[in-house]
Structure 1
Amino acid sequence: MPTTAEQEVARICRDLLRIDTSNYGGGEGPGEREAAELVAGLLTEVGLDVEVFEPAPRRTSVVTRIEGTDPSLPALVLHGHTDVVPAAADDWQVPPFAGEEIDGLLWGRGAVDMKDMDAMILATVRQMVREGRRPRRDVVVAFFADEEAGGVQGAQWAVRHRPELFEGATEAISEVGGFSVEVGGRRAYLLQTAEKGLAWLRLVADGRAGHGSQVNADNAVTELAAAVARIGRHRWPLTLTPTVDQLLRGVADLAGLPFDPADPDVVDALVAALGPAAKFVGATVRHTSNPTQLDAGYKANVIPGRAEASVDVRLLPGHEEEGMATLRELAGPAVRIEPIHQDTALEAPFAGDLVDTMVASLVAEDPGATVLPYTLSGGTDNKSLARLGITGYGFAPLRLPGDLDFAGMFHGVDERVPTDALRFGTRVLDRLLGSC
């Protein structure tokens, strides 16, 4: 009997977790080459042709295309990334790159972001190809490098330099959606249909350098500190986008709670009803702006002529311009704003053939469950694919224990994923690809 996706998904995930692909940003880190070699080997082993590209040393991505039975249909992109954020081993209960399985959970950096989905994609695709089954539409399967640094050497590079790899594609599926939460004692799956815009910004204040003992009304540190405090303490107004509105209405129905989009207390109660997932959803009812870095001066008795800070800003779809205008006002006339890295917000309708197929695939494996749309407070490589007119969704299907703080493990410590959730995900993805 040939190996099935359910049988091999945990092994593939474990093998990926044992490869350190930490991305420190700025090109620093071991890179994704070994992970890409593992991925390419798993794909070629079942007879798929792969494209491997490396725009910078060791920043390696892999792409293949599975030909569909109906060439008139638009292609689907099924993609993941193989890099992970760094992990401080001393903070973890287990070594972050050991890929240990303990009590039915796989532990390791990337277990939830997103080597779990990488493994589910690989196992499902391998099974489909081994069995000689083809989807109706072409499926482009991609494993990108560098997502944790904005995708500059991964998805962004591929879109700019190899757009032909995605020829004919109109929709994409990737991470941070399709996982379960418990609401009002019932299981619901959050399908990601939107994500906030990304703006990593540098605040710069120029002043008059001088001796620390002198009166100085043009102190760059003072101006910068005031701007940072204003931005960091700003209470952004409640703003419900269509996706968030639809999500919270669904939560209200499941939990038997009232819904009033203009009442912050009511909205907070609905967010809280999502349990651990409230960490994600709570950051999508308004813009956020968090100062993250400060840099000024070189000696205690010298007033520097320049001071800088970094701010991580996440802007709601459809409200990006007004958000930036408010930031400029908060920064004030003495502080200028320079972009470090910016990317667009996305919002797609919770409707259409692909959405219907994702919902049906989940419900077929978990009858009685509810599927709701939600907005991701972070970002994915779908931002890059959007430049080609490709509409992206987050759909990494996992049926999770209600008490597992899944959202809190993204970029956190002690990442772990249940192996039975991985097996569930392969079944859902197999149904999805078989119906596309």
Structure 2
Amino acid sequence: MQRAIRWVLVLAGVGCFLPLAGAQSLDPTNQMARDIFKQLIEINTTDSVGNVTTAAEAMAQRLRTAGFTQNDLHVDGPNERKKNLVVRFRGTGKRKPILFIGHLDVVEALRQDWSTDPFEFLEKEGYFYGRGTEDMKEGDAILVTNFIRLKKENYLPDRDLILALTADEEGGSSNGVDWLLKQHRDWIDAEYCINLDGGEFEKEDGKPILAAIQASEKVYVDFQFESLNPGGHSSVPTPDNAIYHLAGALARLQSFSFPLHLNEITRNYFERMATLTLGQVSGDMKAVAKVPPDPAAAHRLSESGYYNSLLHTTCVATMLSGGHAPNALPQTARANVNCRIFPGEDPQEILKTLERVAKDPKVRITIVSQTGPDGKAVPVVPVPPSPLLPEVTKAMEKTLSITRPGVPLVATMSTGATDGKFTRIAGVPTYGISCMFFDKNDDRSHGKDERVGVPDFYDGVAFNYKLIRELSSSR
């Protein structure tokens, strides 16, 4: 999951910071949350040697102990190491269920790269350290804690609340959300989905800046550029060279920009942000938000890599290989081109555009297929954005007014990918809401010495609890 880059639509004004959790001794809820967080961090769930099933079973046992029945708990998956946890909190059925998702797997972490053991939960100088503390076992711990708390309180929601903690969001061929939708949709079918692996809450210098709802995300697709040639002895070169063909195609791609594309979220983003900036940038933002957008303004804004990603599909070469011997003409030359496709655009149309841009019949371009647990290719399809449901935005606004008065609520669109793409494709509107604040200048997800602030974690527990009740209380 990519936390660092997102699109924002400002919906309210910035305000003050009111800490929710201090350094005092922990109350029972926060102690439980800490214990669960520690347990999850210390279970290795990497794709190489880890075991997601172990983490799923550990959380299932806690939920059973809290009173969830066996009929409402499922631990299942396509193989023994990649089982997913699904639990249903029964409500009155007045409204359709809400699905809450998080992934249990984490990216690889090498002990020699870290200052501490990445699979040892460490609290130090106001931070929790460990692989997955930011991406995203903190969210898993928050959800399990609050499901248990609500159960112990004998809370009766007006709708079923479903929790799914899954495998292979970070990679691998056994994505849990995809598998559940295909094999057991009835376990997780819902009116909409809340994904704690998106919609980051940002802070800077200790002060909250914004709280986000991720309503959409770009589509991740890899393309292979390949040139093949009979080769020969390097002492007798010819212009027909696989590396030259590939290099020419990549050079043409480098100078190409995909067509300007805006939607309701990005148009409103630029419209609102124009009031918070000055000079030429402010004017360009206003101009690009108009219908139709001003091409010159879009061109100037696109000189910024960040704004360019907001206005276009992007494709960039990320890996390169070629040749088989230093004294031989290359028989093969290949490149991986990673595209982040604007929601609603067809990946097949992007493929056709890349072929036109490459403009070389000796460079073959194909979509790099992803495979499912059965080994079959998973088709790449457009991911629709989710409409901003007033029910969700109003619940967020109310919860923010209690916990973080004055902090702006924003609608976001991630340039990275989350499991929300599977639920959106399946027709379930999905909203990324991380519920806890992350330092925008200290993003360590997927990196060395991953960490989150201790009070931020406990504040996230409280925020999520209030949000769940707001979304599921009788009206």
Normalised-by-shorter TM-score class: 0.7 to 0.9
Query: SS state of the match for residue 284, structure 1?
Result: helix
Shift, 1:432, TM fit: 1.7
State yes or no: 1:142 paired with 2:142.
no
The 1-side partners of 2:79 and 2:208 are apart by 47
State yes or no: 1:132 paired with 2:154.
yes
Q: Residues 5 and 291 of structure 1: is their aligned pair in 2 closer, same or farther, counting only changes over 3 Å?
A: farther
In the alignment, structure 1 segments of 5+ residues that lack a partner are 272-277
The 2-side partners of 1:7 and 1:264 are apart by 50
Task: Tell me the residue number matched to 1:13.
Answer: 37
The 2-side partners of 1:88 and 1:79 are apart by 27
**What residue identity is the alignment partner of 1:284?**
L
Q: Deviations over 1:182-239 (max 9, x none)?
A: 59x8732122111001112222222223222222333222222332343355445654
Q: Residues 378 and 192 of structure 1: is their aligned pair in 2 closer, same or farther, counting only changes over 3 Å?
A: same
Shift, 1:308, TM fit: 2.2
Task: Tell me the residue number matched to 2:193.
Answer: 172
Task: Tell me the residue number matched to 2:415.
Answer: 377
Query: SS state of the match for residue 311, structure 1?
Result: strand
Query: SS state of the match for residue 203, structure 1?
Result: strand
The 1-side partners of 2:110 and 2:437 are apart by 28
Aligned residue among 98, 115, 133 for 1:93: 115
The 2-side partners of 1:153 and 1:268 are apart by 34
1:32-51 paired onto structure 2 within 5 Å: 32-48=52-68, 49=70, 50-51=73-74
Shift, 1:282, TM fit: 6.8
The 2-side partners of 1:379 and 1:16 are apart by 23
Task: Tell me the residue number matched to 1:307.
Answer: 333
Are 1:5 and 1:423, in contact at CA under 8 Å, matched by a contact in 2?
no
Task: Tell me the residue number matched to 1:319.
Answer: 345
Task: Tell me the residue number matched to 2:139.
Answer: 117
Aligned residue among 359, 362, 367 for 2:400: 362
The 2-side partners of 1:194 and 1:110 are apart by 23
Task: Tell me the residue number matched to 2:20.
Answer: none
The 1-side partners of 2:40 and 2:129 are apart by 11
Are 2:302 and 2:311, in contact at CA under 8 Å, matched by a contact in 1?
no
The 1-side partners of 2:407 and 2:129 are apart by 27
**What residue identity is the alignment partner of 2:58?**
L
Q: Residues 150 and 224 of structure 1: is their aligned pair in 2 closer, same or farther, counting only changes over 3 Å?
A: same
State yes or no: 1:414 paired with 2:437.
no
Aligned residue among 384, 388, 405 for 2:441: 405
The 2-side partners of 1:202 and 1:88 are apart by 29
Task: Tell me the residue number matched to 1:275.
Answer: none
Query: SS state of the match for residue 157, structure 1?
Result: helix
Shift, 1:52, TM fit: 0.9
Are 1:4 and 1:127, in contact at CA under 8 Å, matched by a contact in 2?
no
Are 2:351 and 2:366, in contact at CA under 8 Å, matched by a contact in 1?
no
**What residue identity is the alignment partner of 1:60?**
K
**What residue identity is the alignment partner of 1:45?**
T
Shift, 1:134, TM fit: 2.7
Are 2:223 and 2:336, in contact at CA under 8 Å, matched by a contact in 1?
yes
**Total equivalences in the alignment:** 417
Task: Tell me the residue number matched to 2:23.
Answer: none
Q: Could you say what the CA RMSD is over the residues aligned between the two structures, in angstroms? A: 2.8
Q: Residues 120 and 256 of structure 1: is their aligned pair in 2 closer, same or farther, counting only changes over 3 Å?
A: farther
**What residue identity is the alignment partner of 2:357?**
L
Question: Percent of pairs identical after alignment?
Answer: 27
Are 1:197 and 1:346, in contact at CA under 8 Å, matched by a contact in 2?
no
Task: Tell me the residue number matched to 1:330.
Answer: 357
The 2-side partners of 1:316 and 1:22 are apart by 30
Are 2:351 and 2:365, in contact at CA under 8 Å, matched by a contact in 1?
no
Query: SS state of the match for residue 317, structure 1?
Result: coil
Shift, 1:428, TM fit: 1.6
**What residue identity is the alignment partner of 1:435?**
E
Q: Residues 33 and 200 of structure 1: is their aligned pair in 2 closer, same or farther, counting only changes over 3 Å?
A: same
Are 1:243 and 1:347, in contact at CA under 8 Å, matched by a contact in 2?
no
The 2-side partners of 1:111 and 1:177 are apart by 16
Shift, 1:111, TM fit: 1.5
**What residue identity is the alignment partner of 1:335?**
V
**What residue identity is the alignment partner of 1:297?**
G
1:121-270 paired onto structure 2 within 5 Å: 121-149=143-171, 152-167=174-189, 169-174=190-195, 175-181=197-203, 187-232=209-254, 234-236=256-258, 239-254=261-276, 258=282, 259-260=285-286, 261=288, 262=294, 263-264=297-298, 267=301
**What residue identity is the alignment partner of 2:186?**
E
Are 2:317 and 2:337, in contact at CA under 8 Å, matched by a contact in 1?
yes
Q: Residues 105 and 282 of structure 1: is their aligned pair in 2 closer, same or farther, counting only changes over 3 Å?
A: farther
**What residue identity is the alignment partner of 1:206?**
L
Aligned residue among 48, 61, 70 for 2:84: 61
Task: Tell me the residue number matched to 1:274.
Answer: none
Q: Residues 13 and 250 of structure 1: is their aligned pair in 2 closer, same or farther, counting only changes over 3 Å?
A: farther
Q: Deviations over 1:395-436 (max 9, x none)?
A: 0111345xx525x32323332111211111122211121122
Q: Deviations over 1:90-123 (max 9, x none)?
A: 4433332222111111112211111111111111
Are 1:362 and 1:397, in contact at CA under 8 Å, matched by a contact in 2?
no
**What residue identity is the alignment partner of 1:328?**
E
The 1-side partners of 2:221 and 2:251 are apart by 18
The 2-side partners of 1:130 and 1:316 are apart by 44
Task: Tell me the residue number matched to 2:4.
Answer: none
- Of structures 1 and 2, the larger Rg is shown by 2
Shift, 1:128, TM fit: 0.6
Are 1:181 and 1:189, in contact at CA under 8 Å, matched by a contact in 2?
no
> Could you say which structure has the greater relative contact order, defined with CA pairs below 8 angstroms and 6 or more residues apart?
2
Are 2:228 and 2:242, in contact at CA under 8 Å, matched by a contact in 1?
yes
Moved more, 361-370 or 254-263: 254-263
State yes or no: 1:423 paired with 2:449.
no
Moved more, 142-151 or 369-378: 142-151
Are 1:193 and 1:375, in contact at CA under 8 Å, matched by a contact in 2?
yes
TM-score using structure 1 length: 0.86
Q: Residues 81 and 327 of structure 1: is their aligned pair in 2 closer, same or farther, counting only changes over 3 Å?
A: same
Q: Residues 101 and 318 of structure 1: is their aligned pair in 2 closer, same or farther, counting only changes over 3 Å?
A: same
Q: Residues 267 and 80 of structure 1: is their aligned pair in 2 closer, same or farther, counting only changes over 3 Å?
A: same
TM-score using structure 2 length: 0.79
Aligned residue among 17, 28, 51 for 1:31: 51
Q: Residues 367 and 345 of structure 1: is their aligned pair in 2 closer, same or farther, counting only changes over 3 Å?
A: same
The 2-side partners of 1:181 and 1:435 are apart by 24
